Amino acid sequence: MKKAPLLILIPCFNEAQSLPSLAGEVEAARAQLSMASEVLYINDHSTDHTKAELQRRGLPFLDLPINLGIGGAVQAGYRYAWQEGFTYVARIDGDGQHPPAEIEALIKAMEAEKAPVVVGSRFVEKKGFRSTISRRLGIKILSHWCFWLSGIRVLDITSGMTLINREALSLAAPHYPDTFPEPESVVLYGLHQLKVVEAPVNMRSRQTGASSITPGLSVFYMLKVLLGLFFITLKIRRYGRYSTA
């Protein structure tokens, strides 16, 4: 049996509530996609029934023995994709914010722009759910900071909806950033001369559960990401690039 070229990664932390509808949507979307795909859920050591729900539905998943946070969980998926030889890896969140059908928009953008990395963006065309004003401001600051540091322009820099090809995967599997990984990963790809483009997608507000970034945490989040962006830029500029396959 020939393997599908595309792997869809869905990191889940306490998403038992949203899993039933999400799993249904994912299956429906896969039937419509322009390339064959496989799905891999990643259970980031959830404390609710996420694991039981995944098992009951017979969905393929990686089961992390400890909670690694979104960065470590996604990286586990990227390592799997690298080992198994997938050519493309899409990543959507487990909370239902990213409609799986929109993966097609990412595939189209990747083909059209010949870009190794496509980020699903709420801000290219102003449509769908675009988050609260304070969040948008935070994202804007991060986006400008990233551009100023590295010269890479991505508007929706915290978007967790991405599609990467195998060239980018060769970086992501060993070096995907920790904790709040999305903005730093943009710099990681960009400074390795991998073109990062944004594709307009419709997002929704999360269906169930709470954001991992609570108001109290958001100040910490901003500082961590601002610093993280600074240091990853410095690291790659100063100590050279990682080797890519």
Contact residues toward another protein (CB under 8 A) are 42, 60-66, 68, 72, 75-76, 79-80, 83, 178
Q: Give the burial string for 39-76 (b: 16+ CB within 10 Å, else e).
A: bbbbbbbbeeebbebbeeeebebbebeeebbbbbbbbb
| Residue (13 or 61) nearer to another protein, CB | 61
Q: How far is the CB of 38 from another protein (least distance, A)?
A: 12
Question: Distance between CA atoms of 218 and 56, rounded to whole angstroms?
Answer: 35
| Distance of closest approach, residue 105 Cβ to another protein, in angstroms | 29
CB of 59 to another protein, least distance (A): 12
Tokens 């586990």 -> residue: 76
Residue 59 vs 103, nearer CB to another protein: 59
Of residues 29 and 54, the one with the C-beta less far from another protein:
54
Asked whether the beta carbons of 13 and 44 are under 8 A apart, the reply is yes
Q: Which is nearer to another protein, 59 or 157 (CB)?
A: 59
Residue ranges in the chain assigned as alpha helix (H): 19-32, 50-56, 69-84, 103-113, 133-150, 166-175, 181-190, 215-239
Going 29 to 161 to 90 to 12, the CA torsion angle's sign is negative
Nearer Cβ to another protein (129/231): 231
The β-bridge partners of 117 are 164, 196
Residues in a beta bridge with 162: 91, 119
Smallest distance from another protein to CB 66, Å? 5
Least distance in Å: CB of 73 to another protein?
9
Q: Cα separation of 161 and 158, whole Å?
A: 9
Nearest distance from C-beta of residue 227 to another protein, angstroms: 14
Choice between 23 and 109, CB closer to another protein? 23
